[in-house]
Amino acid sequence: MKKTNLSSYDHASVPDGSAYRIGIIAAEWNAEVTDVLLQGAIDTLLEHGVKEENLIVRRVPGTFELSSAADIMLDSQYPDAVICIGCVIQGETRHFEFICQAVSQGITNVAIKHECPVIFSVLTTDTMEQALDRAGGKHGNKGVEGAVTALKMLAFKESVA
């Protein structure tokens, strides 16, 4: 991968978030990565007008729990969008494959069920170094990308409603 900041974006292209309530669910596992992703998402949402009191931030034990937590949050706290933040790093077993597949499918299913943007801000990397590179390192911050995606998807949803 080139040494590129994948989180660079045109700030003017991001819709104003002042009318939205945004949920963010972050995994506790690999916290040295997910904490940075979470802060990137929060900072970006605030920068684009989301009011601090309209952020619903919760932690779950691991990435696998993101799907069910998003479903619970949408049923109980009614955010306009949910950003799911996690980090799964390849190990020596097939656990990585099972978790990544389950989480990606689960987040998709929750989004379809609720007809609501549920954003996949989950790093799936081979090494911790790669994860750190995408958590505020040389390749940007996947949390920033998740926040921008949430706001753009909310604008999209409004445009087709």
DSSP state of 6: T
- Is 95 catalytic? The answer is yes
- Enumerate the β-bridge partners of residue 160: none
Q: Residue 81: what are its φ and ψ, rounded to 5°?
A: -155, 160
Q: Which two tokens stand for residue 45?
A: 């949402």
Please state, in angstroms and as integers, the Cα–Cα distance from residue 97 to each residue in 82, 93, 101, following that order: 24, 9, 6
Measured CA to CA, the distance from residue 106 to residue 102 in angstroms comes to 6
Which is catalytic among the residues 11, 48, 95, 114?
95
> Could you tell me if 74 and 114 are in contact, meaning their C-beta atoms sit under 8 angstroms apart?
yes
- Enumerate the β-bridge partners of residue 82: 23, 118
Active site residues: 95
